A and B are shown apart, each in its own frame.
Chain A
Amino acid sequence: MVAPEPTRVANRANDGPQFDWDRLVQEHRVHRNIYTDPAIFDAEMIHIFGGTWVYLAHESQIPNVNDYVTGKLGLRPLIITRSSDGRLRALYNRCSHRGTTLCRWDKGNARSFQCPYHGWNFANTGKLRGVPWPDGYAEQLVKNPEFNLAQVPRVESYRGFIFGTLNIDAAPIEQHLGPIRKPIDEWLDRNPGGKVVVCEANRFKYKGNWKLAYDNSGDGYHVIYSHQSLIETENRFKDEQTEKGMSYYKNEPDKLPMYIQYMGNGHHFKDKRPALEKRPGGLWAIESLHPGMEHVAEKLRGRFGERAEAILDLAGSEPVNINVFPNLSLLGNHIQVFQPVSVGETDSVWYGTRIEDVDGSLGGEVLNDINTLRMRTQEGFPNFGEVDDLTNFEQIQRGLACIEDEWIYMNRGLGIPDRFATLPDGTIKGPSTDELFMREYIREWKRLMTDTQNNSIRREI
């Protein structure tokens, strides 16, 4: 055993007086610098993407022992693997010798990784196995843990979602998720066996700060404007009996039973399910038009009668936004991940999910039909909705070049009596278009940015 190594750069951001956090983050507004200042971004890569739990990958991407995917914790390249001892690990994808990126593939199955530069070889536990011509070293490197790969000291999974943090004092992931676990559980449990499998993705990049995506994740205020072209397209056939897709945001969304709920630790939850008819098929009824949907619906209804409605709901987009700070959003059937690239550039990946016929109750043909339809429903929003949001994020980043025009407002709903309710579990609930969740998560962001976390790396196996 080797003790975790504290990371000496961890607290650079609050070492000096260069950031006046109380000015940058106020109750009703935030300063443009938190989206534009490279020094603040660098500090975020330590205090946020390091200092708190960050989503890394889904277990279905590495189902077998020795499977791996490459990913990132902030800007640190990682190999996320189910290592030969069965443990989930997040290895720094960096040779301990000279820093070379060890693994250059997106995914695979490997018991070990050999550095393409000088040939150092590491087990997928991080252990150094061997180096070329070892007698040229004064000591046996393989016996010194200092030469093992660095790895993220805390890696934990919640029902398939793998998180990691450098903060060795962080609360266990279940405790950190807290109240947001309930919507996550419900999102999973509507699928057979409470299980989904990641199956490729719609992958985007935008020239804007990563927080623009998180600001948007629970934003019910932008929908009818940013997604105007989508809503018009979804409802272009006037003979449809039901208004489709996001139409429930039209008219007066704040008076509908849907809501936004702040869940603590930066997490929040937008629940549009109360706007649905509560019956099997209620979700399917508002699904916008997708390739193959009439064919599959007719086939299933012909075969199963009323039971078909609940099966069709499995292909429908669950109307929730479950946002886990700082980089995970479950929405529809997607697992969306925000990946910072630089202060002004972010990757946004919409992983699709399919279901499995866990107990054999669907049968192969129905499973295939439902998953096929589920792929098509999931491609709809990224193609016809997300592209417009991303364009608006880029145009925000551009607008923030105005140095003297300093403030970004998140005051919708603030100061109106009885607009929010704090529930017994400490969560705060309010109307769906309110910026309550932004104010609350950015307060948590500020707390993390000014806190001193016990960030460390581990080299023990």
Chain B
Amino acid sequence: MSVHANQDPSRFSYYMTDAFYCEMISDFSDWQTDDRVVGDTAERDQFRSILEKEARLLDRLLFEEWLGLFVPDCAYWVPSTRNQGDPRSEIAVMFDDRRRLEDRVFRLRTGNAWSQAPASRTTRMISNVEVFTGRSADLRMVRCNFLISEFRDDETRILTGWTGYRMRFAAAGWMISAKQINLINCDQCIRNPSIIL
């Protein structure tokens, strides 16, 4: 552990170590198996509520509140290949640590982010929520399908795929530790990919 491990991750990026990457890649590999399904419907509802709240916050452009759903040492990852790839040796569509995720929000708030001026209007559908056990008792892996209808510039289009969440139990309850968004067309040319997914 770095001596800077406790420095504010909104300001400094010390936690994104090779160990962090390795753990994350491992957590997001081979996790969607029947033997790891958490069958408890109350628990599934609990995660479904978090995901639905997240969709609502993003549709309402409440980005700062949305950031509050994430643990401080989080990852936001949109792979550019369908097998997730290795973000250490391959370009991702997006790969943010805490600070860059806040950069993303900051940019949209400048008023000068022309790709979002005016901002897209979105409606997000979340479905097929499944909960899986994580590497340890304080972790869960959650999968859902998503469909984002995005209106911008005289056109409504659909962005769709599935999301994997690594959720971590913290003092405030379950929080997003890593969010992996798998667009079905992640390896194709996409027009104006500038909304938060």
Contacts and interface: CB of A to CB of B under 8 A. Distances in A.
Interface of A: 106, 199-207, 226, 228-230, 232-233, 236-237, 289-295, 298, 347-352, 354, 365, 368-369, 371-372, 375-376, 378-380, 383-384, 387-388, 390-392, 394
A352 B188 CA distance: 15
A369 B2 contact: no
B99 A375 contact: no
Interface string B2-20: 1010000001111111100
B23 interface: no
A379 B107 contact: no
Main secondary structure of the interface of A (DSSP, over half): helix
A124 to B, nearest CB: 23
Contact of B189 (A237, A349, A368): A349
Given A230-B107, A349-B189, A379 B94 contact: yes
Given A369-B18, A384-B103, 6 more contacts: A204-B189, A292-B16, A292-B17, A294-B12, A295-B14, A384-B107
Given A229-B110, A298-B14, A387-B194, A292 B189 contact: no
8 contacts: A199-B91, A201-B91, A204-B190, A233-B107, A233-B110, A236-B106, A290-B13, A375-B92
A204 B89 contact: no
Contact of B187 (A203, A230, A291, A352): A203
B21 interface: yes
Nearest to A293: B13
Contact of B103 (A204, A226, A233, A293): A233
B103 to A, nearest CB: 5
A203 B189 contact: yes
Interface stretch (B34-42, B111-119, B126-134, B141-149): B111-119
A207 B103 CA distance: 27
Contact of A295 (B2, B11, B100): B2
Contacts of B100: 289-291, 376, 380
A289 B99 contact: yes
A375 B90 contact: yes
Contacts of A379: 91-92, 94-95
A298 B91 contact: no
Nearest to B105: A233
A153 to B, nearest CB: 28
A239 B129 CA distance: 43
B81 A291 contact: no
B193 interface: yes
A338 to B, nearest CB: 11
Chain A CB count within 10 A is highest, among B112, B153, B187, for B112
Contacts of B15: 295
B196 to A, nearest CB: 11
Question: Chain B contact residues: over half helix, strand or loop, or mixed?
Answer: loop
Contact of B188 (A203, A298, A348): A203
B121 interface: no
A384 B95 CA distance: 12
A347 B187 CA distance: 13
Contact of A390 (B93, B94, B113, B192): B192
B87 interface: yes
B18 A200 contact: no
Given A200-B80, A354-B89, A298 B99 contact: no
B2 A203 contact: no
B104 interface: yes
Given A106-B187, A290-B13, A292-B13, A372 B104 contact: no
A335 B197 CA distance: 26
B189 A200 contact: no
A348 B14 CA distance: 33
Contact of A291 (B85, B97, B107, B114): B97
B148 to A, nearest CB: 16
B96 interface: yes
A295 B16 contact: yes
Interface string B68-108: 00000000000011000101111111111101100110111
